[in-house]
Amino acid sequence: MHIAQLVQSQRAYFAAGNTLDVAWRKGCLRKLEACIRASEEKICAAVARDLGKHPFETVETEIALVLEEIRFALRHLDGWARARRVRTPIAHFPSRSYIVPEPYGVCLILAPWNYPFQLAFSPLVGAVAAGNCVLLRGSSSAPHVADVMQDIARQCFAPEHVTVLGREVESSAAVWEARYDHIFFTGSVPVGKIVMAQAARHLTPVVLELGGKSPCIVARDCDVQIAARRILWGKCINAGQTCVAPDYCLVEAPVAQALLDAMKKELHHFYGDNPLESGDLARIVNEKQYRRLRALMQGMRIAAGGRMDDGALRIEPTLLMDCPLDAPIMQEEIFGPLLPVISVKSIAQALEIVAGYEKPLALYLFTADKALQRRIVRSVPFGGGCINDTVVHLATPHLPFGGVGYSGMGQYHGKRSFDCFSHPKSVLQKARHTDVMLRYPPYSEQKFRWLRRIMLR
């Protein structure tokens, strides 16, 4: 079916009220959960074909997170969907006020290639929980995962409710032939601008989950071994192709060499003598990205790693020492297993460097100093982050996930996923049996005195 026709069929399905019943939505989510569990091996195999990821990593960073989102929604959906009473000012007596979460209608979800299952189905859970119809498009760079997602959707949903587009869609232009009620996009800043421009044609609300250069600040009082291990784990999962991966490290000079030495040991512990042969390290998604990463390494001082396999599109985790801030690698999001480690004289210098970039999607801080933790959390803008760890803040449904400024707009995960795909409809219900005449003409001095007494008190 043509995309415009498909969207029209979804719009008719939504208008008929098919998605409004909360018990029905929960049934859809339970069916989705069962299908995902039954498809675990297929999902792992598809991710391995597209990205070379070990099944452990696929379960840990993709399948488990989606299942947790479903379980969380099932536990709380009745409360989320309920109308919420709020206070009413005395000027509106007698009446009551409440807020009704209303689904937008037909939503478009555009998913990226780096976590092709999780970053497609996590927002899908929120959209279905909120009562929407969904058109979901995965990335052409992860075609095998797109096939599996399409198969799961066909098992769980009517196409008028949820459709996952497959390889039959030749270009993104076809997607924009239709009008949507809400758009959810995960990807790069340049493409995010295109999505926002397309949405502006119909004043369609958007959520943009983008990226940026996420800093990792390491203070001199850190636990060096813990910091090295956790920073490298956050950097190396999915071969660094993670929107919240530590993009660069700013390390106070007294511990810079110790951290570097500890990182070298951890890399050997993770991947052995030859990381390029390790089944635990994912590959770069395609030739274009591989060439881009190779170019970023040119002229940089390599402290560890640096070897590449052109045929397999694999790059071993690479530590780069004291990269100049004007070098290309420090001017764009790396999105690969390359980690600049930059020695700084002080935390103040580190914060000056961070302030020179757009607001990051994530920030990581390694320190035992509570005052420093509070200072950075309160004074440095970033989407979200961790203290003494990396990446894991996105793995809890109790914390909203999203960017700020160039790193994105809007949030999801947990209840925020439901809110993201819902319009909070405000209703003031007035009593019929009593009508206060104060607001109606003709006006008088006595009415004016009462007005001022009530509304300007």
Which residues carry out catalysis? Answer: 209, 243
Percent helix / strand / coil, the chain, rounded to 5:
45, 20, 35
Dihedral, CA of residue 388, residue 389, residue 393 and residue 395, to nearest 10? -150
Which amino acid appears at position 117 of this protein?
F
Give the type of residue at 7: V
Structure tokens at 382: 């970033």
CA–CA gap between residue 441 and residue 431 (Å, rounded): 20
Cβ pair 293, 338 in contact under 8 A: yes
Supply 120's token pair: 């497609």
Handedness of CA 331, 218, 303, 263 (dihedral sign): negative
Give CA–CA dist 191/113, Å, rounded. Answer: 13
Residue 49, both tokens: 């074909």
CA distance 346 to 338: 24
Q: Token pair of 307, please?
A: 């070897």
Query: CA 220 to CA 236: how far, in whole Å?
Result: 24
- For residues 375 and 172, the answer to whether their CB atoms sit within 8 Å is no
Tokens (6 digits) for 91:
């000027």
Q: How far is it, in rounded angstroms, from Cα 60 to Cα 215?
A: 24
- Is the CB of residue 66 less than 8 Å from the CB of residue 395? no
Q: Is the dihedral of CA 437, 443, 444, 450 positive or negative?
A: positive
Cα–Cα distances in Å, from 403 out to 117, 186, 209, 243?
A: 20, 11, 6, 10
Beta strands in 210-261 (DSSP E): 215-218, 248-252
